[in-house]
């Protein structure tokens, strides 16, 4: 199993913390531990590697330090999250923003992208979930285009964060199609039509905790998964966020418990159920997809059948 999106370097994984594990049937337990203990448990549970995406220049530094601490298990993506673009300068000309980074920030980004553990650019994209002024959306678009160019220049795939902004994101991606070296629309929870639009561009869909939520939009996601070839799907969690629905988690606990790669057996199990195929096929194909997309070592696609929450 490969978790293609988990923020292991996030401060919510610092010190001691409660975290969730699920088996293939969705039965869960909540455990307590440190980042190091969690990573050891992930390895023992059959998680072959994890991809930690950046959200800003400081977080990029932290995730690369973690990748150096756990070589071959933690890989990184370097980028600026759309909701963090306000932290960096852009030049406004009329209604057009242009990214204006300090030379030292540009140098850092280029150095980060040359790091051997970096396998993608991101996470980048557009996030319209919270009400924003038009100017802020234009700033996001400027950063999106800047990172599309970075990915093209370094021949790297993209990790896309698209939230309530599919129309604008697809318009930009189609216009820059010649720059694309593959990528994944992470935390996908859209419709069949939206799924088809992204996969037509050669992009994968990242499927995680959203599939295991008791939510009205889950039905649309299920239909999208049924209609999308398994070769276009990846497993992810977006830990410490996007906790699935679970009897062990009441509203109070949900605010404290971290999501982790230990829910992947349940995610894979639900995909297998929807597609009416063996779960082993889901684990094998999604791992092979990740290996090809991110250029990971072939051995990381090796199957594992352990179920972490038992015992």
Sequence ranges of the binding site for a divalent metal cation: 123, 161, 186, 238
CA–CA gap between residue 24 and residue 212 (Å, rounded): 11
Which of 50, 199, 207, 198 minimizes the C-alpha distance to 119? 50
SS3 105: helix
Known binding-site positions: 123, 161, 186, 238
As given in the structure block, the two tokens for residue 306 are 């352990």
- Identify the CA nearest to 165 among candidates 192, 142, 194, 145: 194
How far is it, in rounded angstroms, from Cα 225 to Cα 46? 24
DSSP state of 311: -
CA–CA separation, 154 and 158 (whole Å) = 11
Residues 71-104: b if buried by 16+ CB within 10 A, e if exposed? eebbbbbbbbbbbbbeebebeeeeeebebebeee
């Amino acid at each position: 199993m490969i978790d293609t999106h988990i923020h292991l370097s996030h401060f919510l994984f610092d010190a001691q913390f409660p975290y969730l594990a699920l088996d293939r049937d969705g039965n869960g337990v909540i455990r307590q531990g440190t980042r190091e203990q969690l990573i050891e448990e992930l390895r023992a549970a059959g998680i072959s590697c994890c991809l930690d995406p950046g959200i800003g220049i400081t977080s990029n530094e932290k995730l690369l330090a973690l990748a150096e601490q756990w070589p071959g298990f933690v890989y990184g993506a370097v980028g600026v999250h759309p909701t963090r673009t306000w932290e960096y300068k852009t030049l406004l000309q009329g209604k057009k923003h242009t990214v204006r980074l300090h030379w030292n920030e540009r140098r850092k980004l280029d150095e980060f992208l040359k790091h051997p553990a970096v396998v993608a650019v991101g996470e980048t994209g557009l996030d319209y979930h919270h009400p924003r002024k038009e100017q802020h959306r234009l700033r996001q678009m400027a950063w999106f285009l800047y990172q599309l160019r970075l990915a093209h220049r370094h021949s790297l795939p993209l990790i896309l964060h698209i939230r309530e902004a599919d129309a604008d994101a697809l318009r930009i991606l189609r216009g820059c199609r010649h720059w694309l070296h593959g990528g994944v629309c992470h935390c996908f929870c859209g419709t069949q039509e939206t799924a088809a639009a992204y996969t037509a561009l050669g992009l994968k869909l990242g499927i995680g905790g959203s599939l295991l939520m008791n939510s009205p939009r889950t039905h649309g996601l299920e239909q999208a998964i049924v209609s999308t070839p398994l070769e276009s799907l990846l497993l992810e969690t977006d830990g410490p966020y996007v906790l699935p629905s679970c009897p062990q988690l009441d509203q109070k606990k949900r605010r404290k418990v971290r999501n982790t790669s230990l829910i992947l057996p349940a995610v894979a199990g639900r995909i297998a159920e929807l597609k009416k195929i063996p779960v082993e096929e889901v684990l094998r194909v999604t791992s092979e997809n990740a290996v090809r997309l991110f250029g990971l070592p072939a051995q990381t696609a090796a199957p594992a059948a352990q179920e972490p929450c038992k015992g």
